[in-house]
Amino acid sequence: MSEAKTTTDHDTIRKWTEERGGRPASVKATHEKDDAGILRIDFPGQGDDSKLDEISWDDFFEKFDESGLQFLYQDKTKDGSTSRFFKFVRGDGK
């Protein structure tokens, strides 16, 4: 696997996501009017996205910051292809 990076920078996360055709989302069963719920990045047409709701970047980053998350991501795969690997991790490394 290629090197993974970690960031909390909103512009970096948004750019990485949009360059790969992704959009901010949350798990439908956890999304309420005033709470984004469990965050996800949805890549339409890649896997089952029927359980996800698209949310605004503002709502996404409000929940991201409030939850103390970091975005662990990979730019390229080992063979040099564009990677979609990402994971949300707690700011304390857990």
Query: pLDDT digits over 67-89, tens only?
Result: 999 999 999 988 989 999 999 99
For the chain, domain boundaries: 4-90
Question: CA 10 to CA 30: how far, in whole Å?
Answer: 22
Query: pLDDT digits over 3-36, tens only?
Result: 889 999 999 999 999 999 999 998 877 766 676 6
